[in-house]
Structure 1
Amino acid sequence: MNSTDTTTAATGTAAGTGRLAVGARAPGLTEAVTMTGAAPPVLGRSGRSVVLKFYRFANCPLCNLHLHSWVVRAAEVKAAGLVPVAVFHSPVRALREQLQQGAAVPFDVIADPDKRLFRAYGVEESLAGMLHARVAADNMRALRAGYRSMLPFGHEGGIRGHPADFLVDPDGIVRLAHYGADYADTLDVDTVLNAARDLLPAPPPGPAPRPAGRT
């Protein structure tokens, strides 16, 4: 869940793959639809760095387990100057009905049932990706945490899909691109926060504190 493999080419796509390379301009989110109907951040124009997290379908137990770690630490992530955004290949209706988070997700969740963004970012899929010991281990953790799924072939958008993570700077440039080797290989909060400190400019300072005794 905290693997740190990333693409390292300078621009465009990584050689010999459809992967988006470090140094490339991130594909825009302007046509994306969020679960709440809110407009997603405009990459390169929001003045903030964005963390894009790609998951599979809305009630995927693994995805919900991993997403929850970002939900409970969202304030910490935002305080570090990062805007988290999750992308699922389920439609809005499924996200609203099936995303298994006890409280509202405190950041944008994009519905991408046509997988337009998945293709633009080179996100990969395979059946072999589920055949890894850490996938079985995380599935057990998800079940113990109460996350359940429907029958495997009942999911809109299918069951295949590796996670992927992207760190996009305020200019809209990809500074970190992680493509999961299997269904459980997604970057955790600490890994991304550490990478952001190394790879991104410092976030703009907050308002200066008021002098004592002044209102």
Structure 2
Amino acid sequence: MTFGFAPPASTSLATPGKGVSRHGRLLEPAEWTSAGIPLLTNPREVVSGLHSRHTPVPGVAMIAVLGPEDRLVASASFTHRSGSADGWDYRNALLARLRRVLPHDLRRRSPVRTAVLLYCRDGDEQWTEEDGAWMWGLRDACTLHGLRCGAYITLTRDGWQVLGEGRGGRHPDSHSPPVRLGDIVTDPVPLTLRTGGGATETLRRTVAR
């Protein structure tokens, strides 16, 4: 019995091939998009909540487990230094943190909780091989912990974006000061939708509590 998204054969080997670079195991944006990652109901609230709890700086990863209606169940933050973008290393780091904050769900017939990863890094919002390694690591860690693989979100100087969804916003960003949880804005706020042609549209979304 397997849970989450089982890694395709092409990503299970350390040799170059589809989904694997010479630097290690990683997922390309097209592979991530086609994996059927569940959409977050309110990504801004998830990002703002994790930013307030963990006050990240570039190089910090935040793993969060969400229950029904995207309610936060558990979260952890850590700094992971790796010499190469190898999803194997990232998977082990994520799995270690998950085991510390949450019992596994491997006895369930199907996953009921979802893991989301927010990574604060330098650079712009463009996909990098490091992002691909985090994606591979998140998917594999979820499988081994009995969780559903959820969104991968980057937090850069330009703001945040949910990779593969085209949703993002300018605040918070990688250098934003922490905001108390009670001060998170709950009024309608703009979300940025990036279309396939590179155009940018602004949507009005209401932040749900």
**What TM-score comes out, normalization by structure 2 length?**
0.28
Determine which structure has more spread, i.e. the larger CA radius of gyration: 1
